[in-house]
Structure 1
Amino acid sequence: MTAVRSPAARRGFAFTALACGVAAPVLTLVVLVRDPLELIAAVVLVGCAVAAAWAALIRRGWRRIPAAVLAVLALTATAALPDVRAYLWFAVVAMLVVFSAGAARAALGQAPVGTVRRTAQARHGVLLLNPRSGGGRAARFKLADKARVAGIVPIELRPGDDLRALAEQAVTDGADVLGMAGGDGSQAVVADVARRHGVAFVCVPAGTRNHFALDLGLDRDDVPGSLAAFGDAVERRVDLAELNGRVFVNNVSLGVYATVVQSPDYRDAKAATVVRRLPDLLGPDSRRPDLRFALPDGTRRESADLLLVSNDPYRLEHLSGFGTRERLDAGALGIVTVTVNRAADVPALISAEVAGRLSRFPGYRSWSARDFVVDSECPLVEAGVDGEAARLAPPLRFRILPGALRVRIPRHAPGASPSALLPPGTPATIVALFHVITEARPGPTAPR
């Protein structure tokens, strides 16, 4: 789990991050004051290096790579300026950048996960596996064999099997921990069974996207490592959400994106399908989806081009909900609507979608609620439920189920989603560091 540091230690790291982050451009200013043009270029480049290095050290997985490359390129470009040949100066600036980034990660890398507790090894652990999820990840990692070695009973789904019935039978046979190796749709089914019977749940990220695993703080690249949650692990309670009695772990999309999900090309090429279909769905001759709902102030709306309801609020990056949630125990639905001016906004929306900056689109609106109702005059409403296509009869009634699920997480896992560890952008990172210095509230209790 992510290390828990004392308030004094976090204050020290935050102060170091800010001091080093300021010192690098200031030192550049002192060295280059004789040449204003090079001064401007050097300060900009060093500032970019500091911001990129912060992002590289705070993020996880492949998303570190672009930021790290940008930091190196910025520093290299600074060193290549005509009158900047003092290698000692360059080394000092490079060290300041690295120290700033590392201290920022140490100051902000706290997992806001509420109460967690140590838990003993499962007495009768059962792992359900979908061998077709994620292009056959379960088979590729030989999860069934590794489960048996760890004393876990594997149950592989075959064509025609009823996943819920298999999970129910496993509990009837004495399972005290239920695990699911598959995509988010399968995770929701087994999580619901675990919730109803009060047994603990283990998420094994063997699907394609594995957003639930990401926000639980699991390492999605270490699929077999998730099996450690059946052993000496930690346990926490997280929320689930419900749509007309059907549990979902991530989100339900209505409107334009829900129509895209129905496309047969979507599963193999998600981003390309979204970008290709948007002009047709949002063009001047297209009709707005019939989605009727109330805003937080009680105002009724008759439509939205996109409506996303999530199990706890997202920091949303794309129409498809490909963002992360700071926490899974907030006890509230996240609601997002996007409305597009057909005449002018489609190019801007496509640019926001491709760039992963959907929340900056002018027609974007978000809020939270414990329950939410969407009505329509259509007999069936197209929806994407945890990324799976569905057609549902209105009204659609959403509600949050606070703390409904006991989830076990390996002790070696990061233990927090990227949103929990990374403020949204460099200005927010600076604000967060100042917040740590002035308040430095203790982090949650967690095992080391």
Structure 2
Amino acid sequence: MSLPTPRPTRHPWQRVDPPLHPVLFVNPQSGNGAAGRAGVADRARSRGINVVTLTPGQSLTTLVDVAVTSGADALGMAGGDGSLAAVAAAAASHALPFICVPAGTRNHFAADLGVDRRDVAGALDAFIEGVERRIDVGEVNDRMFLNNVSLAIYGEAVRQSAYRDAKVRTLLETAQRVLGPSRRVPALHLVDDEGREHVRLALVLVSNNPYALERPPARGTRPSLDGGQLGVVIIDTPDNGPHPPGRAWSTADLDVSAPGPVPAGIDGEAVDLQPPLHFAIRPMALRVRIPARRARTGHRP
């Protein structure tokens, strides 16, 4: 199961002037308090960045809307991939630059963007001495995602409380339940790039640009974020017939049908999606900034 080799980055980083009215949103719960341990809020304020700290019950989307209405000219998020996507969606909608501060658990987007996941506070330098370029984003039913959308096994796994602390074990346990003797699987349907129908799917993973599945040491990462393609990985159930159980390809869009609501994980957040599901790539839709020193040292963007 392999994908075409993703194209290298086509758009280089460009030096930009610092924003005049930047706003950073901080989720103190993400990454077991990573932002607090790194002193992100205080360090941001010392740089002249307006800081909005989330408290339980607040709507991040509403807070971002207020910031944009009040004149913010750059938006940043210190949190996990799910909260990053919410702020990035607003940035894309208003053509504002977005700054990723890796204060989550996995920080997948930060890694693929070229941000040092070990230097949470250092990511704030993107506000002051930053470089910028445009990258793609994915959409499913008009909802934006930065990393991926998972359906079936993984989509069920992210709904379990054990997922955050034992992802692999939970995924395996979910797979065993779904693929066990009962053969109870979500009723998903799609047509692959060769025109073959799939109606007994155990896993569907749609990503914003393809992952490097067979090229160590880049396995599990995306070599490009501006290739203009979705990555699709599917795994069929064992009773799929004579065809190979897994397939991967890239495409500009994808449709998935189902008889009812589909449990999904969008950038690691559990949601229910209403079918039919339409996935699409939005090329070059998001302005992103990282510290200039990260681009100078040649880290993969």
Q: 2:284 aligns with which of 368, 387, 403?
A: 403
CA distance in structure 2 between the partners assigned to 1:204 and 1:289 by the alignment: 35
Q: Partner of 1:250 in structure 2?
A: 147
| 3-state secondary structure, aligned to 1:266 | helix
Amino acid at match of 1:143: V
- The aligned runs of 1:37-436 (5 Å cut-off) are 112=9, 114-316=11-213, 323-341=220-238, 363-377=245-259, 379-413=260-294, 416-417=299-300
- Distance across 2 between alignment mates of 1:144 and 1:289: 43
Whether the 8 Å contact between 1:134 and 1:207 is mirrored in structure 2 is: yes
Q: Deviations over 1:208-237 (max 9, x none)?
A: 111110100111000000000001211010
The alignment-based identity, stated in percent, is: 49
Change (3 A) 1:113 1:156: farther
Q: SS where residue 296 of structure 1 aligns?
A: coil
Letter in 1 for 2:274: A
Instruction: Please tell me whether the aligned partners of residues 282 and 342 of structure 1 are also in contact (alpha carbons under 8 angstroms).
Output: no
SS at match of 1:408: strand
Mean alpha-carbon deviation: is it higher for 293-302 or for 185-194? Answer: 293-302
Specify the SS of the correspondent of 1:254.
strand
- Maintained 8 Å contact 2:204/2:233: yes
Structure 1 counterpart of 2:255, one-letter code: V
Residues 180 and 187 in structure 1, CA contact (< 8 A), matched pair in contact too: yes
Partner Cα distance (1:342, 1:141) in 2: 50
Gaps of 5+ in 1: 1-110, 344-361, 421-448
Contact 2:202 2:235 (C-alpha < 8 Å) held by counterparts: yes
Residue type of the alignment partner of 2:278: R
* Aligned residues of 1:216 and 1:415 also touching (Cα < 8 A): no
The aligned residue for residue 4 of structure 2 is none
Larger RCO (CA within 8 A; separation ≥ 6): 2
User: Number of residues paired by the alignment?
Assistant: 285
Quick check: 1:333–1:399 contact (8 Å CA) kept in 2?
yes
* Structure with the higher fraction of residues in strand conformation: 2
Pick the structure with more helix per residue. Answer: 1
Moved over 4 A (4+): 414-417
Greater Rg over alpha carbons, structure: 1
Residues 284, 342 of structure 1: 8 Å contact kept: no
Residue 392 of structure 1: CA displacement?
1.4
CA RMSD of superposed structures (Å): 1.8
In 1, the alpha carbon distance for the partners of 2:172 and 2:192 equals 28
